[in-house]
Amino acid sequence: MKIAVIALSLVLVFMFGCSADKSKTSDSGSTQPSAGRPDTRAIEASSVVGYDGAAMRRSADKALNQNDARNAEQQKAIEQATGK
């Protein structure tokens, strides 16, 4: 009887141990930062205090991309005006 209890407890320990490894691997993919600018990676950490960090990062990335596009247009206009 003691052997059966020990064997059953060992089987349960191995089952719980194996299932814990699967949950760790599935969670590791969700903790990786989303694609975007490396400059705005720290913004995504605001999710720790209750904000939607991914949405804030996407918004900041969008604003920075629009700013870069505007700067490129202005630079192009300056080069055309000066004849370079």
Compute the distance between CA of residue 60 and CA of residue 9 in angstroms, rounded to an integer: 52
Q: What distance in Å separates the CA atoms of residue 34 and residue 30, rounded to the nearest whole number?
A: 9
**Confidence (pTM):** 0.53
Q: Average pLDDT of the chain?
A: 78
Q: What is the pLDDT of residues 17-46, one digit of tens each?
A: 665 444 444 444 455 555 778 888 888 888
Domain boundaries defined on the chain? 42-84
Instruction: Identify the CA nearest to 41 among candidates 49, 50, 31.
Output: 31
- Residue that is written with structure tokens 């999710």 in the block: 47
* Cα 51 from Cα 64, distance rounded (Å): 20
- C-alpha 63/C-alpha 69 separation (Å) is 10
CA Rg, the chain, in Å? 26
